[in-house]
């Protein structure tokens, strides 16, 4: 099924669209419209009405987040774009920036106007050097054209965008850790409250948004809130979403699909079905930190609400598929090892608890697990989720939660057989 394309409308595989191409496709019209005919508050209201939810993983309504921002407070204020995409199975922001980087720049300028922040940063991980260069070129082109810099389009509003290459780690995706990192400190998460909108970057009011979230803004401005909402296939959803497919599929690519598309359509139509004609066993629907969905969930529409009812989260919509021959205990162990390694080491449950969960899962994989290990694993899941300083450990427990929800018998099977049944 062909779906309407916003973010990928200019997509030509292997190529990047810069200023001329972007302008030809209607680029910067949203900015012109904003600057010439809208007040900052009107932009925020529009985004609120559009129902746009944050595309970075948490799915928090963007307009609501902006409405907390003290845009009329004097002194420095900041907009920060989170481009520290490092979750296993998530790569959509990279694709977006390799495809059409000006969308982010335009979205950021409109957002900066809405929030009245004269300074904006893109926090981009070092591994995305090509994307950073794309952005730097886009920034230079936008400045050249008068869309960025001092007194944009004669409006009196000025905005600078800085591209900051971070040494980035997974924890930098946590917005307060990102701010610590951007300040040149160790990227440890910070206490909330105060929230970044009150005390963020350099202790000043700050809003942090994801790349894809910001790239949607000018489309909302030009197309309107109602149109944006209508793009989704479900009542609760709004807009389109970049789905990054990976794992045991015939086609592992990034697609722009409406929110609310079913898992079945993603797997069997866009993903070309499970690789080698095997059966679908499970998937991570939204990156490494989301609980698994299994074969009985194929009819679940993927938007922020419906998927929660199915016991998982949409997260970043990085869909990783596992076929019938995959050991889900092994998958979980692999994921937990990643989270344990990426823990910043700040709080006890995450720093010391995750390696322990990994150790427990190793016992299963090595065929040395007992009933006691099973109960310990169940207990740890409860001890860590909701007990840690930030959301990293909570996210790390997502796959463990999924393991218990959908595949507990597989754990038991490991104990009974005294080995991994898939080996």
**Interface residue list for other proteins (CB under 8 A):** 169, 171, 186, 188, 191, 193, 340-349, 351-356, 359, 376, 379-380, 383, 386-389
Contact 234, 212 (CB under 8 A): no
Nearer of residues 4 and 386 to other proteins, judged by Cβ = 386
Q: Enter the tokens of residue 98.
A: 């390799």
Cβ 110 to other proteins, closest distance in Å? 33
Cβ 193 to other proteins, closest distance in Å? 8
Nearer of residues 103 and 180 to other proteins, judged by Cβ = 180
Cβ 380 to other proteins, closest distance in Å? 8
Nearer of residues 243 and 338 to other proteins, judged by Cβ = 338
Q: Enter the tokens of residue 269.
A: 């139509």
CA angle 61, 338, 342 (to 5 degrees): 70
Nearer of residues 218 and 376 to other proteins, judged by Cβ = 376
Pairing of strands 206-210, 240-247: unpaired
Nearer of residues 164 and 387 to other proteins, judged by Cβ = 387
Cβ 339 to other proteins, closest distance in Å? 9
Cβ 386 to other proteins, closest distance in Å? 4
Give the chain's length: 423
Nearer of residues 100 and 342 to other proteins, judged by Cβ = 342
Across the beta sheet with 78-83, the strand order is: 160-166, 119-125, 78-83, 206-210
Contact 19, 102 (CB under 8 A): yes
Evaluated on CA atoms 243, 246, 250, 253, the torsion sign reads: positive
Nearer of residues 107 and 173 to other proteins, judged by Cβ = 173
Cβ 71 to other proteins, closest distance in Å? 23
Nearer of residues 356 and 422 to other proteins, judged by Cβ = 356
Which class for 346: exposed (0-12), middle (13-18), buried (19 or more C-beta within 10 A)? middle
Q: Enter the tokens of residue 32.
A: 């012109």
Compute how many other C-beta atoms are within 10 angstroms of the C-beta atom of residue 156: 9
Cβ 1 to other proteins, closest distance in Å? 39
3-state secondary structure of 319: strand
Cβ 281 to other proteins, closest distance in Å? 29
- Sequence-distant contacts of 182-191: CB under 8 A, at least 24 apart: 182/80, 182/121, 182/123, 186/344, 187/344, 188/344, 188/346, 189/344, 189/346, 189/389, 189/390, 189/392
Q: Is the peptide bond before 194 cis (omega within 30 degrees of 0)?
A: yes
Neighbouring-strand partners of residue 302 = 261
Cβ 406 to other proteins, closest distance in Å? 22
Cβ 401 to other proteins, closest distance in Å? 14
Contact 17, 99 (CB under 8 A): yes
Q: To 10 degrees, the CA torsion angle through 172, 174, 180, 183?
A: 60
Q: To 10 degrees, the CA torsion angle through 175, 177, 180, 181?
A: -100
């Amino acid at each position: 099924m062909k779906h309407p394309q916003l973010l990928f409308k200019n997509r030509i595989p292997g190529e990047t669209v810069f200023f001329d191409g972007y302008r030809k496709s209607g680029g910067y019209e949203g900015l012109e419209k904003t600057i010439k005919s809208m007040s900052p508050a009107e932009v925020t209201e529009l985004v609120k009405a559009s129902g746009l939810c944050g595309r970075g993983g948490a799915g928090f309504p963007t307009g609501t987040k902006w409405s907390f921002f003290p845009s009329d407070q004097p002194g420095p204020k900041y907009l920060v774009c989170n481009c520290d995409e490092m979750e296993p199975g998530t790569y959509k922001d990279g694709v977006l920036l390799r495809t059409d980087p000006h969308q982010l720049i335009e979205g950021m300028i409109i957002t900066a106007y809405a929030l009245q922040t004269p300074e904006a940063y893109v926090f981009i991980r070092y591994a995305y050097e090509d994307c950073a260069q794309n952005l730097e070129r886009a920034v230079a082109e936008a400045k050249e054209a008068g869309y960025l810099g001092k007194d944009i389009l004669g409006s009196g509003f000025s905005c600078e965008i800085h591209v900051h290459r971070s040494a980035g780690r997974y924890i930098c995706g946590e917005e307060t850790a990102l701010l610590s990192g951007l300040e040149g400190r160790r990227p440890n998460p910070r206490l909330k409250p105060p929230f970044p909108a009150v005390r963020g970057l350099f202790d000043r009011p700050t809003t942090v948004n994801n790349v894809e979230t910001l790239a949607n803004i000018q489309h909302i401005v030009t197309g309107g809130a109602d149109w944006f909402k209508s793009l989704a296939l479900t009542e609760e959803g709004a807009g389109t979403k970049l789905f990054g497919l990976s794992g045991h599929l015939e086609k592992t690519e990034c697609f722009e699909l409406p929110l609310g598309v079913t898992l079945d359509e993603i797997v069997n139509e866009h993903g070309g079905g499970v690789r080698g004609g095997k059966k679908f066993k499970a998937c991570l629907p939204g990156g490494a930190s989301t609980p698994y969905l299994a074969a009985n969930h194929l009819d679940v529409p993927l938007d922020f609400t419906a998927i929660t009812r199915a016991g998982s989260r949409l997260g970043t919509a990085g869909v990783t598929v596992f076929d019938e021959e995959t050991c889900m205990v092994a998958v979980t162990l692999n994921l937990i090892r990643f989270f344990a390694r990426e823990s910043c080491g700040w709080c006890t449950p995450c720093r010391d608890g995750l390696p322990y969960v990994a150790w427990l899962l190793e016992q299963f994989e090595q065929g040395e697990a007992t009933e006691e290990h099973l109960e310990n694993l169940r207990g740890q899941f409860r001890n860590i989720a909701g007990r840690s300083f930030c959301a990293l450990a909570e996210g790390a427990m997502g796959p463990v939660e999924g393991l218990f929800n959908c595949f507990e018998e597989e754990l038991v099977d490991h104990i009974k057989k005294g080995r991994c049944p898939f080996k």
